[in-house]
C-alpha cells in the first residue's frame, strides 16, 4: 500500500487520520524488513518512527539521531518530519491537537492497552476508532520459521521448573491463567527459540498458561487464541496491559474474562540470570574475547587499505568459527573517523570509509552464542592519535571506571547510576546522547528490559545477577566517536568492612583497551589500578586459548601502564 492509497482509504472510511507504527502485534520486538510499514509508506528506513497520516498530509515522528536521514528519505511535500526526543505520540497529540474535534483510527494489534488508555484519557476531543483491517494483511511476514529447543545445558533451568514458578505466581494472585504477550517471556519460559529474526533467536508468539501450567502457544493463528480464551469466561486472567496489544484486551472483554492487569512476572525473572547461565556466559565471553583479540591483531597488521566493511566481515569470520556461535547479536557498527560520531551508524556501501592514519575506529559488535549473548565496543587508534583524542578517550574511560567500580545499595535505580557514569564527562562540559547501559538477554534480545541505566525510564532497581552493558561514550561531530562498552554482572559486594549490603559490578567482557589512547596522568591511582587489574585478568583468562604469537601480542596489550 502507498501513502496515497492509505489517504484515499481514510476518505472513504470517513476518518480524519490514522496512526501507523513500526510494530506488529509483538510490541517492542524487532521486526523483519518486509514488515516495516513505516518504510513502505514513507521511505524512511530508520529504526524508530511513527506516522500520523491525515488525508492531505502526514507527520513522521522520529528521534534526534534520525533527523537528517528522515529528511533525506521522505518527500517533504507529503510528509513533515517531527523530532520528538522522548516525547510520546500521545503527548504530542495532547499539545498539538487540543483544539480539533477529530476521528483517528489505529490498529489495535499495534498499540498497548496502556497507550490507548492514555490517549482516551488525555484527548477527550479525539474519537479513537479501531481499524484492524486497515493494514492488517502486512503485520507478519508469512515466511517459514524453524522452532528449536534451547538445551537445558545452556538455559540452566527446565521449562517445567519455570512453568511452576508461573503457576505459583498465579496461585498467589488468584488467577485462572496468564496471557503472555512478550516474545522474550514466552521464549524464556518454554526454552524455545526460532530463526524468525536474523540476529535475535526469539520465538515470536503469545502464550496462554492456565492455572494447571498447561501452555497454548500462538505464533500466527490468532483465531485459535480466541477459541482458547472462550474457555475462561468469568475467570481472573493476568495480562500485562503495558505490553499487551489493545486487540487482545478487547477479545478478553468480549468473552467476559476478568482481566487482572499485572506486570508480566517473567520479565523480572529472566533478567536475573541463573548460575548455569552465568557460568555459560563467562565461557561465551572467553571465546568472544579471543575473536576480538584476533581482530585487534589483524587490524594492527593489516589496516592499510581496509574499510569499515572489511572490519565487519573480518569480525564475522572470526566469530563464526567459535563453538556455540549462532549469529551476530546485531548488525556490527564499525565507524571510522566522522562515521564513528554517528551514534547508530552501520556501514553501507555508500558510506563505507577506508581506514587511514590519524583517526579512531569505533567497533560495536556482539554474538548470539547458544551459551550467551555478547555485546562489546572498543575504540581503536588507527595510526597515531592526536592529544585531543587521547584526552577524550581517557575521559570516557574515567566515566566507564566510575560506574564499573561503583557500589550502591539495593533499590538504586538505573537513573542514579547513569549520573555516576556521566559525572566525569559532565565536569569537562561533555556528554553523550544515549543510555549508559541496557539489560542483555541470554540467547535472546541483546537489548532487554526491565533494567537499564539511563536518564529516562530507568526505574527498575538493579539486582544481583542482572546483566547490563556499561557503555559511556563521547562523539565529536564530523571527527570521531569514542565508546567503551563492557558487559557486567550485578554482584553483591562482599567487603567485610561494609556496614550495609551493597551491590556492584563484575566485568564479563574480556578485551583489552587501547593503551595508546590513555593518558595515565589524567587517571587517579585507583583508576590506574582498575585498568591494570582488568588487563591482567584479560591476559590470564584469554592467553591459554591463544597461540604463542597471539599471547605475545596480548601480553604487551595487557601490560600495566608505565
Contacts with a copy of itself by CB under 8 A lie at 402, 405-409, 412-413, 415-420, 423, 426-431, 455, 493, 495, 497-500, 502, 524
Look at strands 486-493 and 480-483 and give their pairing: unpaired
- Please state the closest distance from residue 505 (CB atom) to a copy of itself, in A: 12
- Greatest pairwise CA separation for the chain in angstroms: 74
Q: Which is nearer to a copy of itself, 84 or 322 (CB)?
A: 84
Q: How far is the CB of 235 from a copy of itself (least distance, A)?
A: 18
CB of 499 to a copy of itself, least distance (A): 5
3-state secondary structure of 115: helix
Sheet with 126-130, side-by-side order of all strands: 79-83, 57-62, 50-54, 17-21, 102-106, 126-130
Count CB atoms within 10 A of the CB of residue 116. 21
| 487 burial type by CB count under 10 A (0-12 exposed, 13-18 middle, 19+ buried) | buried
Q: Nearer Cβ to a copy of itself, position 220 or 495?
A: 495
Q: Which is nearer to a copy of itself, 35 or 410 (CB)?
A: 410
Cα–Cα dist 214/431, whole Å: 50
Q: Report the residue number, 334 or 406, with the smaller CB distance to a copy of itself.
A: 406
232-268 b/e (C-beta count within 10 Å ≥ 16 → b): beebbbbbbbbbbbbbbbebbeebebebbebebbbbe
Looking at beta carbons only, is 136 or 390 nearer to a copy of itself? Answer: 390
User: Cβ of residue 414: shortest distance to a copy of itself, in angstroms?
Assistant: 10
Q: Cβ closer to a copy of itself: 215 or 493?
A: 493
Taking the complex as a whole, how short is the minimal distance between the CB of residue 501 and a copy of itself, in angstroms?
A: 9
Whole-number minimum distance, CB 416 to a copy of itself, in Å?
A: 3
- Which of 225, 419 has the CB closer to a copy of itself? 419
Q: Which residues are paired to 493 by β-bridges? A: 502
By beta-carbon proximity to a copy of itself, the closer residue of 327 and 436 is 436
Contact assessment for residue 112 and residue 245, using Cβ atoms and an 8 Å cutoff? yes
Q: How far is the CB of 106 from a copy of itself (least distance, A)?
A: 25
Which grid coordinates are listed for 371? 551459551
Burial class of residue 72 (count of CB atoms within 10 Å of its CB; 0-12, 13-18, 19+): exposed
Q: Taking the complex as a whole, how short is the minimal distance between the CB of residue 421 and a copy of itself, in angstroms?
A: 10
CB of residue 494 to a copy of itself, shortest distance in Å: 10
- Smallest CA-to-CA distance from 443 within 154, 26, 144 is with 154
Write the DSSP symbol of residue 546. Answer: S
253 or 427: CB nearest a copy of itself:
427
Distance CA 171, CA 176 (A): 8
**What's the residue count for the chain?**
562
Contact 20, 7 (CB under 8 A): no
Contact 561, 515 (CB under 8 A): yes
Beta strands in 64-125, from DSSP E residues, in sequence order: 79-83, 102-106
H or E element at residue 281:
helix 275-302
| Residues 514-545 as b or e (16 or more Cβ within 10 Å = b) | bbebbeeeebeeebbebbeebbeebbeebbee
- Answer for the pair 70, 49: CB distance below 8 angstroms, yes or no: yes
**Of 384 and 428, CB closest to a copy of itself:** 428
Closest approach of a copy of itself to the CB of residue 257, in Å: 18
Specify whether the CB–CB gap between 280 and 156 falls below 8 A: yes
Which is closer to a copy of itself, CB of 52 or CB of 404? 404
Question: What is the nearest approach in angstroms of a copy of itself to the Cβ of residue 461?
Answer: 11
Among residues 81 and 488, whose Cβ is nearest to a copy of itself? 488
User: Least distance to a copy of itself from the beta carbon of 268, Å?
Assistant: 18
- Tell me how far apart the alpha carbons of residues 110 and 495 are, in angstroms, rounded to a whole number: 48
Work out the end-to-end distance of the chain between its first and last CA atoms, rounded to an integer number of angstroms.
63
Amino acid at each position: 500500500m502507498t501513502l496515497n492509497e492509505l489517504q484515499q482509504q481514510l476518505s472513504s472510511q470517513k476518518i480524519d487520520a490514522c496512526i501507523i507504527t513500526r510494530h506488529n502485534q509483538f510490541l517492542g520486538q524487532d521486526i523483519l524488513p518486509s514488515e516495516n510499514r513505516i518504510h513502505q509508506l514513507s521511505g524512511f528506513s530508520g529504526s524508530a518512527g511513527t506516522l500520523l497520516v491525515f488525508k492531505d498530509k502526514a507527520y513522521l515522528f522520529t528521534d534526534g539521531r534520525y533527523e537528517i536521514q528522515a529528511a533525506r528519505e521522505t518527500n517533504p511535500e507529503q510528509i513533515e518530519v517531527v523530532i520528538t526526543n522522548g516525547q510520546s505520540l500521545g503527548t504530542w497529540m495532547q499539545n498539538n491537537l487540543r483544539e480539533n474535534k477529530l476521528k483517528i483510527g489505529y490498529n489495535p494489534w499495534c498499540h498497548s492497552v496502556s497507550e490507548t488508555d492514555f490517549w482516551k484519557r488525555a484527548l477527550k476531543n479525539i474519537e479513537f476508532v479501531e481499524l484492524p483491517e486497515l493494514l492488517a494483511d502486512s503485520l507478519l511476514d508469512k515466511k517459514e520459521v524453524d522452532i528449536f529447543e534451547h538445551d537445558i545445558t545452556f538455559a540452566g533451568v527446565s521449562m517445567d521448573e519455570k512453568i511452576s514458578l508461573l503457576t505459583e505466581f498465579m496461585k498467589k494472585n488468584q488467577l485462572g491463567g496468564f496471557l503472555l504477550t512478550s516474545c522474550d517471556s514466552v521464549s524464556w519460559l518454554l526454552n524455545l527459540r526460532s530463526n524468525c529474526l536474523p540476529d535475535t533467536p526469539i520465538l515470536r508468539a503469545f502464550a496462554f498458561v492456565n492455572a494447571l501450567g498447561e501452555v497454548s502457544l500462538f505464533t500466527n493463528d490468532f483465531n485459535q487464541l480466541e477459541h482458547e480464551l472462550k474457555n475462561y469466561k468469568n475467570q481472573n486472567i493476568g495480562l500485562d496491559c503495558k505490553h499487551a496489544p489493545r486487540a487482545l484486551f478487547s477479545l478478553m472483554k468480549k468473552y467476559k474474562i476478568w482481566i487482572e492487569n499485572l506486570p508480566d512476572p517473567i520479565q523480572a525473572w529472566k533478567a536475573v540470570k541463573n548460575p548455569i547461565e552465568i557460568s555459560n556466559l563467562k565461557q561465551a565471553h572467553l571465546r568472544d574475547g579471543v575473536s576480538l583479540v584476533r581482530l585487534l591483531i589483524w587490524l594492527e597488521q593489516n589496516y592499510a587499505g581496509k574499510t569499515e566493511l572489511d572490519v565487519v566481515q573480518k569480525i564475522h569470520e572470526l566469530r563464526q568459527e567459535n563453538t556455540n556461535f549462532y549469529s551476530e547479536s546485531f548488525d556490527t557498527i564499525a565507524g571510522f573517523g566522522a562515521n564513528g560520531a554517528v551514534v547508530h551508524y552501520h556501514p553501507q556501501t555508500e558510506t563505507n570509509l577506508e581506514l587511514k592514519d590519524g583517526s579512531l575506529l569505533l567497533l560495536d559488535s556482539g554474538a548470539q552464542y547458544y551459551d550467551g549473548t555478547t555485546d562489546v565496543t572498543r575504540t581503536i587508534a588507527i595510526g597515531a592519535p592526536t592529544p585531543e583524542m587521547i584526552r577524550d578517550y581517557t575521559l570516557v574511560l574515567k566515566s566507564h571506571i566510575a560506574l564499573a567500580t561503583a557500589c550502591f545499595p539495593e533499590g538504586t535505580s538505573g537513573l542514579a547510576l547513569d549520573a555516576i557514569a556521566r559525572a566525569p564527562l559532565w565536569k569537562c562540559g561533555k556528554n553523550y546522547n544515549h543510555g549508559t547501559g541496557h539489560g542483555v538477554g541470554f540467547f535472546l534480545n541483546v537489548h532487554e528490559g526491565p533494567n537499564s541505566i539511563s536518564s529516562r525510564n530507568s526505574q527498575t532497581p538493579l539486582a544481583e545477577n542482572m546483566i547490563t552493558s556499561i557503555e559511556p561514550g563521547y562523539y565529536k561531530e564530523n571527527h570521531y566517536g569514542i565508546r567503551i562498552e563492557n558487559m557486567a554482572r550485578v554482584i553483591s559486594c562482599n567487603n567485610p568492612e561494609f556496614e550495609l549490603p551493597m551491590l556492584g559490578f563484575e566485568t564479563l567482557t574480556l578485551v583489552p583497551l587501547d593503551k595508546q589512547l590513555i593518558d595515565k596522568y589524567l587517571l587517579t591511582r585507583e583508576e590506574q589500578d582498575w585498568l591494570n587489574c582488568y588487563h591482567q585478568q584479560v591476559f590470564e583468562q584469554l592467553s591459554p586459548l591463544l597461540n604463542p604469537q597471539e599471547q605475545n601480542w596480548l601480553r604487551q596489550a595487557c601490560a600495566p601502564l608505565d
